Amino acid sequence: MSDTIFITGVSIHAHHGALDHEGHVGQRFIIDLELTADISEASRSDRLSDTVSYANVVATATAAFKDANYKLVERAAGAVAEAVLAAFPKISIIKVTVHKPHAPIAAIFDDVGVILTRARA
């Protein structure tokens, strides 16, 4: 059995980007997380210890995202996936979406980003 926990719209100011000014000034990124885990016990027990703490996942993801200045959002998303899987053994699959709404693109656009899915080995 697998269930899904989702966390959307986590707004983080970070310094990722291939251009020099992105690394210095930084910009807002938005992260969405989709976590696959067996939380059937929590659905019966009503105990936090039987599920995954949303607050702890957000803290871990935020720290991993801001830990270094990456040139690519692909790498930043990978760092989030690695950190969350390492910290939460109940999570079997993580899907990380990183939105870069202010990417330096010479066009009018609503959103740009990456979606990365990683599974526990």
**pLDDT bracket for residue 26 (50, 70, 90):** confident
User: What letter would DSSP give residue 90?
Assistant: T
Check if 100 is active-site: yes
Residue 40 three-state SS: helix
> CB–CB of 36/6 below 8 Å?
no
CA distance 79 to 9: 18
The domains of the chain are located at: 3-119
pLDDT class of 2 with cuts at 50, 70, 90: confident
pLDDT band at 104 (very low <50, low <70, confident <90, very high): confident
Which fold does the domain 3-119 belong to in CATH?
GTP Cyclohydrolase I, domain 2 (3.30.1130)
CA 44 – CA 51 distance, rounded (Å): 11
Catalytic entry in 71, 90, 95, 100: 100
Q: Which of 5, 21, 27 is nearest to 76 (CA)?
A: 27
pLDDT for residue 65? 96
pLDDT in tens, 52-83: 999 999 999 999 999 899 999 999 999 999 99
